[in-house]
Amino acid sequence: NAGVTQTPKFRVLKTGQSMTLLCAQDMNHEYMYWYRQDPGMGLRLIHYSVGEGTTAKGEVPDGYNVSRLKKQNFLLGLESAAPSQTSVYFCASSYGTVPNQPQHFGDGTRLSIL
């Protein structure tokens, strides 16, 4: 059982380039989330999805777009990367329909923007 899988694990981009981070979960979870983790700031929610075909903004959505075309996949896109987007990105999933369920996390994507 793979759980939550993120690809790629590492990436270096130049300012202005675009890329897509992929998250896949095999637990049939309804809810999926994208966070970024920066030193001293904990995890901040970028976007989330409450089901296939739905997305919504989180705490820090600017500069990112997402899509959830299939229930098991949640894509995070950077259209024009900026150095401020250098971070570790985590995807998570949960049953979500009740708040007492924990989130399951991937191992992260370490992204550097030069």
Partner 1 sequence: AQSVTQLDSQVPVFEEAPVELRCNYSSSVSVYLFWYVQYPNQGLQLLLKYLSGSTLVKGINGFEAEFNKSQTSFHLRKPSVHISDTAEYFCAVSDYSGGYQKVTFGIGTKLQVIP
Task: Report the interface residues with partner 1, using CB under 8 A.
Answer: 4, 31, 33, 40-43, 45, 48, 50, 56, 90, 92, 94, 96-108
Nearer to partner 1, 73 or 95 (CB): 95
Task: Report the distance separating Cα 110 and Cα 86, nearest Å.
Answer: 8
Task: Report the distance separating Cα 42 and Cα 44, nearest Å.
Answer: 7
Nearer to partner 1, 31 or 64 (CB): 31
What are the structure tokens assigned to 25, written together?
A: 């979960």
Other CB atoms within 10 A of residue 30 CB: 15
Could you give the angle at the alpha carbon of 60 between the alpha carbons of 57 and 63, nearest 5°?
A: 90
Nearer to partner 1, 41 or 82 (CB): 41
Q: Nearest distance from residue 100's CB to partner 1, in Å?
A: 5
| Antiparallel, parallel or unpaired: β 4-7 and 19-25 | antiparallel
Q: Nearest distance from residue 15's CB to partner 1, in Å?
A: 25
Q: Nearest distance from residue 70's CB to partner 1, in Å?
A: 19
Nearer to partner 1, 59 or 79 (CB): 59
